Amino acid sequence: MGEAMDLNNNIHTQNNTNMVLVMDFGSQYTHLITRRIRQLAIYSMCISGTSPLSAIKALNPKVIILSGGPHSVHLEGAPSLPIGFWDYVFKNGINVLGICYGLQLMVQNLGGEVKPAESQEYGRMEICIYKGSELYGDCDFVRQEVWMSHGDEVVRLPEGFDIVAKSLQNAVAAIENPAKKLYGLQYHPEVTHSTHGMETLRHFLCDVCGIAADWKLQDVLQEQIQTIKGMVGLEDHVICALSGGVDSTVAATLVHKAIGSRLHCVFVDNGLLRYKERERVMATFESELHLPVTCVDAVEQFLSKLKGVTDPERKRKIIGGEFIHIFDEFCLILEKDLGKKPKFLVQGTLYPDVIESCPPPGSGRNHSHTIKSHHNVGGLPEEMKLKLIEPLRWLFKDEVRKLGEILNVPRGFLKRHPFPGPGLAVRILGDVTELNALETLRLVDEIFINSIKDAGLYDSIWQAFAVFLPVKTVGVQGDRRTHSHAVALRAITSEDGMTADWYQFEPKFLAEVSAKICNSVRGVNRVVYDITSKPPSTVEWE
Ligand SMILES: Nc1ncnc2c1ncn2[C@@H]1O[C@H](COP(=O)(O)OP(=O)(O)OP(=O)(O)O)[C@@H](O)[C@H]1O
Ligand SMILES: O=c1[nH]c(=O)c2[nH+]cn([C@@H]3O[C@H](COP(=O)(O)O)[C@@H](O)[C@H]3O)c2[nH]1
Ligand SMILES: NC(=O)CC[C@H](N)C(=O)O
Ligand SMILES: [Mg+2]
């Protein structure tokens, strides 16, 4: 994988003349910028802020947005734009909007000055906008509530720039140089706490930059089918890692449209699946999806590698590596039948998987922290024989669900709660192979999910599951003292898995589930409910 591969896989083509390119300097909100722009029906994608100029030119953007980031432009080692960036921008009349770090970088690059602020601005702030600016147009809201997150501030503007908004603390909040098509916001218009943020982005992109808001998800479908046809030779075969989850089901259906019977799907039973999942998934694939799928039993292979491993990142890397081994072995088997080894692997990787994982080159996340290595991205081994096809790599879950509807993927698949590839391994804290942990967790999880379904709540919850804790607590059951395991239940609401809130069940529901679990699952005498949002927690416990 590398820059070239990523660019092949993006959902944009050169003829998308309305492209908004977000250059990422490591802000936790960068993904939200692209997301908000797409919500405005404008196509946007993101690459690393320090990508070479050739990568930017290849994408031919009409607008470039420079994201925020944790660094300070006045300190050594702060990430910067590639050489020749500003010449390229001016020569091609590209509009540039800097957000937070992006604004500060623009100011510093063009001859202004940025310094540590005397009083920093974090969280909800009020700004006052000046009438008559291009950036805000005829906006009626002179005072706006915005979300700030900065410790540096602009103390001197480059030539040709004007201040067009200030915070109530008198710090620069927005600047512009319309003659050069340069604009900057010190706050984050992309977060919902900036009450007029979407309006400002829409006005900037449509009215100031003249972009037509006509991008549709349908475009992704056609573009991806063309891209895949271009990548895969007429005689080439492709395998698809199919989990039965939303993402790989949509990815497989899309690739099947492009290359038909040269696609071979493989479902891996890694021993980390939920109660009766293998049987259920294989049955629905056959009856509803009509895609040929081979099931590989790799239970022993995975569990023996995971024995005694307790570190979450180690578990993820082992699982990522083992998946690839299985796929390589599957290719060898196919080679015997086809006379030819498959060259490509389709995965249902989504944008959030990329954002949170160890950043691969060109992913646009070179300046952020690794939160956890999703098995299908950061958990992949460095040397891979198969080339990746990831048609959903730049999409969020809700966009994938919509794409699935366009592709007529049965509703049952699209409505499923996400289930991570490392499965129960990241829901059993500590050693996965510890006596009965997997079996216990399967039973607890099944009771919880069935209760949610029976209560008619499944579709209002984004994801729900149980966690096995390596903690024993004292209980009293049938007048006897017990010293058994505690389990945790988690249910969340979310739009895209990037941020989440815990789901507020009625106490009666929780009481009933808790009783059912303790009464029917041996070895469990305590149930706790997770009431943490993301952030500060993540969805999974590991
Ligand atoms: N058991 C499995 N067998 C084969 N491939 C798998 C398996 N589990 C995960 N994968 C691969 O890893 C990718 C990422 O997993 P992930 O759980 O994010 O997506 P998904 O399972 O397709 O969808 P969902 O998020 O709804 O669970 C999948 O799209 C699929 O390509
Ligand atoms: O396929 C996957 N491989 C992984 O390694 C992985 N880790 C987390 N997840 C899923 O991603 C979403 C966000 O989860 P976190 O807040 O725990 O990162 C949630 O939906 C998680 O279930 C994964 N999916
Ligand atoms: N959120 C940001 O982009 C912050 C930029 C810079 N690190 C500052 O503190 O001012
Ligand atoms: Mg899954």
Contacts of 64 (CB under 8 A, 6+ apart): 20, 21, 22, 23, 56, 89, 94, 95, 96, 97
Ligand 1 centre from 353 Cα, in Å?
11
User: Is 297 flagged in the annotation as binding?
Assistant: no
Quick one: which atom of ligand 3 is closest to the CA of 153?
A: 10
Q: How far is the CA of 375 from the centre of ligand 1 (A)?
A: 9
| Better pLDDT: 12 or 267 | 267
For range 203-229, the mean pLDDT = 93
User: What is the C-alpha separation between 46 and 27, in angstroms, rounded?
Assistant: 12
- β-strand 293-297 against 344-346: which pairing, if any? unpaired
- Closest-CA residue, ligand 3 atom 8, reads 150
Give residue-wise pLDDT tens across range 426-481: 999 999 999 899 999 999 999 999 999 999 999 999 999 999 999 999 999 888 99
Binding site annotation covers 484? Answer: no
- Work out the pLDDT band at 191, boundaries 50, 70, 90: confident
Nearest ligand to residue 241 Cα = 1
Q: Which atom of ligand 2 is nearest to the CA of 540?
A: 17
Which residue reads 């909800």 in tokens? 124
Are the C-beta atoms of 28 and 498 separated by less than 8 Å? no
Q: Which stretches of 30-104 are assigned E, i.e. beta strand?
A: 44-48, 63-66, 95-99
How many Å apart are CA 44 and CA 312, to the nearest integer?
A: 33
pLDDT of residue 10: 42
Residue from 27, 75, 100 to probe ligand 3 pocket by mutation (most atoms less than 8 Å from CB): 100
Catalytic residues: 100, 188, 190
Q: What is the mean pLDDT of residues 377-388?
A: 81
Strand 344-346 relative to strand 238-241, pairing: parallel
CA of 363 to the centre of ligand 4 (A): 21
Retrieve residue 325's tokens. 């081994």
Q: How confident is the model at residue 342 (pLDDT cuts 50, 70, 90)?
A: very high
**Of 204-208, 284-288, 331-335, minimum mean pLDDT range:** 284-288
Cα 382 to middle of ligand 1, angstroms: 20
Task: Write down the pLDDT at residue 445.
Answer: 98
From start to end of 273-357, where are the E strands? 293-297, 344-346
Ligand 4 centre to CA of 521 (Å) is 25
Other Cβ atoms less than 10 A from the Cβ of 486: the count is 17
Number of the ligand 3 atom closest to the C-alpha atom of 151: 9
The arithmetic mean of pLDDT across residues 238-251, rounded, is 96
At residue 367 the predicted structure's pLDDT band, cuts being 50, 70 and 90, is low
**Is there a binding annotation on residue 523?**
no
242: CB partners within 8 A, 6+ apart: 248, 249, 252, 265, 266, 267, 285, 291, 293
Q: What percent of the chain has pLDDT over 90?
A: 75
List the residue whose alpha carbon is closest to atom 28 of ligand 1: 348
DSSP structural state of residue 286: I
- Return d(Cα 440, Cα 524) in angstroms, integer: 8
Q: Hey, whose CA ends up nearest to atom 5 of ligand 1?
A: 241
- Cβ proximity of 221 and 316 under 8 Å: no
Residue 364 — pLDDT band, cuts 50, 70, 90?
A: very low
Say whether pLDDT at 104 is over 70. yes
In sequence order, what are the residues at sequence separation of 6 or more whose Cβ sits closer than 8 angstroms to the Cβ of residue 305? 318, 322
Ligand nearest to the CA of 72: 3
CA of 216 to the centre of ligand 1 (A): 25
Give the pLDDT confidence score for residue 32 in this predicted structure: 87
Give the containing element (helix H, strand E) for 516: helix 507-520
The atom of ligand 2 lying closest to the CA of 316 is 5
Confidence bin at 263 (pLDDT 50/70/90): very high
Residue 133 has pLDDT above 80, yes or no: yes
Convert 408-442 to b/e letters by CB count within 10 Å (16 or more is b).
Answer: ebeeebbebbbbbbbbbbbbbbbbbbbeebbebbb
Closest atom of ligand 3 to 70 CA is 7
Are 6 and 32 in contact by the 8 Å Cβ rule? The answer is: no
Residue 369: which pLDDT band, with cuts at 50, 70 and 90? low
Contact 407, 225 (CB under 8 A): no
Q: Please give the distance, rounded to the nearest whole angstrom, from the Cα atom of residue 240 to the centre of ligand 2.
A: 19
Closest ligand to the CA of 268: 1
Task: Look at residues 298, 261, 266 and name the one whose alpha carbon lies nearest to residue 285.
Answer: 266
- Judged by phi (left if over 0) then psi (alpha if -120 to 50, else beta), residue 160 lies in left
38-83 pLDDT tens trace: 999 998 988 889 999 999 999 999 999 999 999 999 999 999 999 9
pLDDT of residue 16: 64
pLDDT of 5 above 50: no
Tell me the mean pLDDT in the region 523-539.
92
How many A from CA of 539 to the centre of ligand 3? Answer: 26
Pocket test for ligand 2, best of 374, 427, 532 (most atoms within 8 A of CB): 374
**243 is known to lie in a ligand binding site:** yes
For ligand 1, residues with CB inside 6 Å are: 241-243, 245-248, 267-268, 270, 347-348, 353, 376, 416, 418-421
> How many angstroms separate the CA atoms of 125 and 121, rounded?
8
Instruction: Output the CA angle 75-189-128, nearest 5 degrees.
Output: 90
Q: What are phi and psi of 469, to 5 degrees?
A: -100, 140
Ligand 3 atom nearest to 25, measured from its CA: 3
Helix (H) or strand (E) holding 440: helix 437-454
Name the residue with the closest Cα to ligand 2, atom 15. 539
Q: Which atom of ligand 3 is nearest to the CA of 99?
A: 3
The amino acid sitting at 503 is: Y
Per-residue pLDDT band at 366 (split at 50, 70, 90): low
Residue 37 or residue 360, greater confidence: 37
Please tell me the predicted confidence (pLDDT) of residue 290: 86
- Distance, in Å, from the CA atom of 34 to the CA atom of 22, rounded to the nearest integer, reads 7
Q: Average pLDDT, stretch 530-535?
A: 88
244 known member of a binding site = yes
Q: Atom 17 in ligand 1: which residue has the minimum CA distance?
A: 420
Mean of pLDDT over the chain: 91
- Binned at pLDDT 50, 70 and 90, residue 498 comes out as confident
- Answer whether 5's CB lies under 8 Å from 387's CB: yes
The token duo for 483 is 């010293």
Q: What is the pLDDT of residue 140?
A: 78
What ipTM does the predicted assembly reach? 0.91
Q: Are strands 344-346 and 387-389 parallel, antiparallel or unpaired?
A: parallel
Peptide bond into 422 cis (omega under 30): no
Which amino acid is located at 190 in the chain?
Answer: E
Q: Which residue of 152, 169, 369 sits with most ligand 3 atoms within 8 Å of its CB, as the best mutation to test the pocket? A: 152
Residue 460 labeled ligand binder? no
d(CA 192, CA 119): 24
Q: 342: Cβ below 6 Å to ligand 3?
A: no
249 labeled binding residue: yes
Q: What residues pack around ion ligand 4 (CB closer than 5 A)?
A: 243, 245, 419
- Cβ–Cβ contacts within 10 Å for residue 169, how many? 16
SS3 content of the chain, % helix, strand, coil (to 5): 35, 25, 40
Q: What is the pLDDT of residue 11?
A: 43
Helical segments of 145-270, H only: 197-202, 217-231, 246-259
Q: Which of 540, 541, 542 to mutate to test the pocket of ligand 2 (most atoms within 8 A of CB)?
A: 540
**Ligand closest to CA 67:** 3
Cα 14 to ligand 1 centre (Å): 30
State the Cα–Cα distance between residues 370 and 353, nearest whole angstrom: 11
For the chain, the straight-line distance linking the first and the last C-alpha, in angstroms and rounded, comes to: 26
State the sign of the Cα–Cα–Cα–Cα dihedral 269, 272, 278, 284: negative
